[in-house]
């Protein structure tokens, strides 16, 4: 997946989170961002990677997001790996 497509999916995820009354405050708390910063951060690939990190923490969220946007369930994680920071993942 291209970084551009990954960013598109992450922006969709950010928008989806912003419309979710339960998850949006959780995301803001986890990311340390505030609602005013989101527009400027939406162009930051590292922030978009954090959006996908958050989304992919829960399979239920992934399914709901993908169903709304007609994406394959593996696409958010594939997109995450196309953005900065994924190369530093260590499972030890």
- DSSP single-letter state for residue 80: H
Tokens of 68: 């709304």
Domain count, the chain: 1
Q: Could you tell me the residue range of the domain that residue 48 belongs to?
A: 3-83
| Best CA proximity match to 64, nearest among 11, 29, 19 | 19
In a domain, residue 92? The reply is no
Q: Would you call 52 exposed, middle or buried from its count of C-beta atoms within 10 A (0-12, 13-18, 19+)?
A: buried
* pLDDT tens digits in sequence order for the chain, 92 residues long: 899 999 999 999 999 998 999 999 898 888 887 777 877 888 889 889 999 999 999 999 999 999 999 999 999 999 999 998 766 555 55
Quote the pTM value.
Answer: 0.85
| Residue appearing with tokens 């505030």 | 34
- Rounded Cα–Cα distance for residues 61 and 39 (Å): 22
In a domain, residue 63? The reply is yes
């Amino acid at each position: 997946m291209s970084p551009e497509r990954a960013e598109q999916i992450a922006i969709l995820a950010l928008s989806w989170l912003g419309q979710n009354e339960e998850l949006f405050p959780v995301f803001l708390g986890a990311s340390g961002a505030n609602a005013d910063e989101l527009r400027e951060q939406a162009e930051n690939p590292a922030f978009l990677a954090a959006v996908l990190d958050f989304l992919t923490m829960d399979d239920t969220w992934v399914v709901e997001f993908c169903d709304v946007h007609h994406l394959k369930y593996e696409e958010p994680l594939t997109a995450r790996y196309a953005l900065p920071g994924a190369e530093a993942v260590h499972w030890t």
